Amino acid sequence: MTLSDEARTAEKKFTWLALAAMLAIFAYASFLSSRSTLFDRDEPRFAQASVEMLTSGNWLYPTFDGELRADKPVFVYWLMAQAIHVFGATAWAARFWSPVCLALACGLVFLVGRKLFEGRTGLLAMGFMALSPLALAEGTLATTDALLLLCLTLVMSIFVYAAVDGPRPMHFVGIALTCAGAILAKGPVGVVIPALSIGFAVWLLRNERGIGRAHRLWFAVALAAAVGLVLLWWIPADRATGGEYGTRGLGNHVFDRALSPLEGHGGGFLISLPFYVPVLAVGFLSGLMFLPGAFSALLGERIGNKRTRILLIAWIVPTFLLMTLVATKLPHYVLPIWPALAIASAAVVDAAERGVLDDRDRSWLSSGTWIFGVVSVLIIGCLIAAPSYLQVDALLLPGIATSVALAATAVFAMHAHRRNHPRRAACIALLGLGVTWIVGVLLVVPAVEHTKVAPQLAAAIRTHVPASVQIARWKFVEPSLDFYLGRPPIKDFDDEDSLRRWAAEDSPAVLVIPRNVLAGLRDVLPESRYSELAAVEGLNLSKGERLVLVALARDLPSTEAR
């Protein structure tokens, strides 16, 4: 057997292993996603809007509680609605597509890693991607970020193949279609990120063979075509909502978000500039040990060829800088660079094994070991402090068990790395983190579940209150109540005067209200008319506040309000 035949056999083996890994990633993420109810606030908003889309048959634009939900475009709602149609209105159904998207994105990471380096690199990069805390979290939640990750990874994967093999018409068509999917998933950011990365890469490659001026023009045409495809949906949707989709979707949720911190997600410009440094450290924990060495080797031209390095740098740098400059900051905004980080980290592991790194790279790799250890200790500290901070004693033992798993992972992985066994250290880190996340979900999540008030109160209302009875709420706006109650719309009040006028009505109704707020409204909500149907004590997790949530029944027959 010739060397090329041996290499071809090895690559085929890695391909089959990658397919098996994709299935394992989907199963792993699906299992994690099945262990909890939806978390306020984003998950139930997406889920309930998808239920309403399915119920109303309005596939043009999403609604929440009957009102336009202009936060995001329509793609993710189409997918969630289909899953809910097949599996029912459950948290797992709403989350179904996120594990699918994560697994497919990891498969693309393998393909790009194999294209730029070799199959072994691509396989290791899959592990770094799948078990990184940020990617895994988004791959198990009912939001649009896993879908955006998949679409943007598709765009960049096609561009990488075009840059390496030479652009072909199918590459431009693929970029147009996948970029349109990214825009439909999360709006203009779906074209801005690829435009910046592709534009930066094309500029850096301007003197290289294979991408001429005509090709650069066609890349721009492909991105413009993506916008044109999205307009086929956007224009009818905007007209159907009287221009509200454009005003709120672009004005509030794009331009305002870029220029000022929205919903408290951000701060002073200079103070918030380093925000994504700790996000990178914690969110990419799986490959963090190798990331400093990867940056050193990339910039020092010791991994890959010039084209490879340019493609990875162009994938990472523009998005990181863009999100650093945007006023509103959330951890998942930099998730699109995770595939390139995973590939670069895996590549430096292979380079270290082959002994092609210089002293500076090895020094940075050594620094990565201690950075990994420090970040692990900080996470352990948070796990141990959380029960006291949240006042949930049931979290103490699960937090300790998860901390022990993470500590063992850090100790053994760091030991292997310090003994100059980077691949062994990478495998230990991936295996240990995989076990750690399972331990956390099996032990920590059930303790958190008992603190959620909305699902429990919604179950009590569904059991005792006919579907025809109006449900209202005051001073509790978490959307999980909408989803688990399954009776939209819930009546909300603009001010206390509106509540007082409603309280004087004679029709049967149920009011959901925190007990501490109820104490000051007993003059308009007397016990003679408003009997306590159910009360649940727990946490408002989105605010980190303890509360007792009460359902008060008004004018219900005694057989229904018992």
At 561 the pLDDT is: 41
Give residue 278's identity as a one-letter amino acid code.
Answer: P
pLDDT in tens, 249-303: 765 555 555 555 555 555 555 666 789 999 999 999 999 999 999 999 999 888 9
Half-sphere exposure of 32 (CA within 13 A, CB side): 29
Residues 212, 352 within the same domain? yes
pLDDT in tens, 204-238: 998 887 787 888 899 999 999 999 999 999 999 99
Cα–Cα distance for residue pair 184/180, rounded to 1 Å: 6
Domain assignment present for 416: no
Residues 341, 463 within the same domain? no
Beta strand spans in 124-231 (E): none
Domain assignment present for 327: yes
Residues 83, 227 within the same domain? yes
Task: Give the global pTM.
Answer: 0.94
Cα–Cα distance for residue pair 175/170, rounded to 1 Å: 9
What value does the mean pLDDT of the chain take?
92
Interval 165-188 mean pLDDT? 95
Domain assignment present for 502: yes
Residues 351, 484 within the same domain? no
Domain assignment present for 554: yes
Q: Would you place residue 154 in the very low, low, confident or very high pLDDT band (cuts 50, 70, 90)?
A: very high
pLDDT in tens, 476-494: 999 999 999 998 789 999 8
Cα–Cα distance for residue pair 38/34, rounded to 1 Å: 10
Cα–Cα distance for residue pair 37/541, rounded to 1 Å: 12
CA 76 remoteness from chain centre: 13
At 389 the pLDDT is: 87
Q: Would you place residue 562 in the very low, low, confident or very high pLDDT band (cuts 50, 70, 90)?
A: very low
Q: What is the DSSP string of 177-188?
A: HHHHHHHHHHTT
Q: Which domain holds residue 280?
A: 3-357
Interval 350-375 mean pLDDT? 94
Q: Using the 3D structure, point to which of 357, 375, 405 is the last residue of a domain.
A: 357
Domain assignment present for 410: no
Residues 189, 72 within the same domain? yes
Residue 26: both structure tokens together: 């989907």
Cα–Cα distance for residue pair 2/403, rounded to 1 Å: 49
Q: What is the count of structural domains for the chain?
A: 2
Bridge partners for 540 per DSSP: 545
242: left (phi over 0), alpha (psi -120 to 50) or beta: left
Residue 390's nearest CA partner among 538, 515, 172 is: 538
pLDDT in tens, 49-108: 999 999 999 999 999 998 999 888 999 999 999 999 999 999 999 999 999 999 999 999
Domain assignment present for 256: yes
At 238 the pLDDT is: 92
Q: Using the 3D structure, point to which of 312, 341, 357 is the last residue of a domain.
A: 357
N- to C-terminal Cα distance for the chain?
80
Residues 343, 473 within the same domain? no
Q: Using the 3D structure, point to which of 309, 334, 357 is the last residue of a domain.
A: 357
Interval 111-116 mean pLDDT? 97
Find the range with the poorest average confidence among 97-111, 183-197, 411-425, 487-501: 487-501
Domain assignment present for 134: yes
Q: Would you place residue 543 in the very low, low, confident or very high pLDDT band (cuts 50, 70, 90)?
A: confident
Q: Would you place residue 11 in the very low, low, confident or very high pLDDT band (cuts 50, 70, 90)?
A: confident
At 271 the pLDDT is: 67
- Report the run of H or E that residue 44 belongs to, with start and end: helix 42-56
At 260 the pLDDT is: 54
Q: What is the DSSP string of 46-65?
A: HHHHHHHHHHH---SS-EET
Residues 158, 276 within the same domain? yes
Q: Would you place residue 391 in the very low, low, confident or very high pLDDT band (cuts 50, 70, 90)?
A: confident
CATH number at residue 476: 3.40.190
Interval 422-439 mean pLDDT? 97
Residues 26, 156 within the same domain? yes
Domain assignment present for 109: yes
Residue % of the chain over a pLDDT of 90: 80
